[in-house]
Structure 1
Amino acid sequence: MKTALDLVAAAKARIQEVPVDAAEAAIAQADVLIDVREPDEYRQGHVPGAVNMPRGLLEFQMSGQPAMAPRDLAIVLYCKTSGRAALAACALHDMGYLNVRSIAGGFDAWAAAGKPVAAPSTPTFG
């Protein structure tokens, strides 16, 4: 029986990961940046410009949005550490998307590298 880690390792063998130091350039060239984490994770902080499509809903959301229909869209994905994004990239490849990449190390690596993070603002009371 395969474990989740086995599935992630197999997925990573099939996909293209972008190192964190090249991620900003990949994002700049992408048509869409997708955060596949859960909404509560996304709300705590995310890569600027990312749209949230949780891993469990990704295929349905991609299929339900006409703007996401072109199979040649340049897509960059990320999650917390890169496992869910690797599985998501495989799913998108299986759906026929041709240009899907994942950020190696995910959001944790992005933030640790000092890259910009869109965080919720705390209301101020004067």
Structure 2
Amino acid sequence: MDELLERVRGGFERVEPRDAYDAVLAGDALLVDIRYAALRERDGLIPGALVIERNELEWRLDPQGSHRAPEATGHDLRVVVICNEGYASSLAAASLHQLGLSRATDMAGGFQAWRAAGLPVT
């Protein structure tokens, strides 16, 4: 699994929590939280993040898909995928690249790193 993560992460530049926060404030990124409901209930939410469970991610973010979220505005959308600790999100970002979302990435350390950095959580 480590080799797979290393390989997929080579296809994009991961972002640190503070950089993700700054990108959202600048209007340059959409945060997408793929954690499952129990983790969101236990640990909280990142204000403004779009919650899409992992099993629906591609359906909801494909800009040409019939089930896309309103936020899925185009293939140039910068998506920052967030999971709990930054592993599943790397695989999810790689999958989004396969859909043509070339600016998709993930956040190193996931939600836990976001919270540890003292960034907003509700």
Structure 2 equivalent of residue 121 of structure 1:
none
- Distance, in Å, in 1 between the alignment partners of 2:31 and 2:18 is 16
Pairing partner for 2:13 from 16, 20, 35: 16
Structure 1 position 69, deviation (Å) = 4.8
Q: Where does the alignment leave 5 or more consecutive residues of structure 1 unmatched? A: 119-126
Provide the identity percentage.
Answer: 30
RMSD of aligned alpha carbons? 1.8
Q: Counterpart of 1:41?
A: 39
Q: Which contiguous aligned blocks of 4+ residues in structure 1 show a shift greater than 3 angstroms?
A: none
Q: TM-score, normalization: structure 1? A: 0.80
Shift of 1:60: 1.8
Q: Give runs of aligned pairs for residues 44-63 of structure 1, distance below 5 A.
A: 44=42, 45-62=44-61, 63=65
- Aligned partners of 1:20 and 1:94: how far apart in 2? 24
What is the TM-score of this pair, normalised by structure 2? 0.82
Q: Which runs of 5+ in 2 are unaligned?
A: none
Equivalent pairs, count:
115
Matched, 1:113 2:117: yes
Taking the aligned partners of 2:117 and 2:96, their CA distance within structure 1 comes to 27
Distance 1:39 1:8 in 2: 24
Higher helix share goes to which structure? 1
Find the counterpart in structure 1 of residue 101 from structure 2.
Answer: 97
Relative to its length, the structure with more strand (as a share) is 1
Judged with a 3 Å threshold, the aligned counterparts in structure 2 of structure 1 residues 6 and 55 are, in CA distance, closer, same or farther, namely farther
The separation in 2 between residues aligned to 1:47 and 1:30, in whole angstroms, is 16
Shift of 1:54: 1.6
Question: Shift of residue 61 of structure 1?
Answer: 2.2
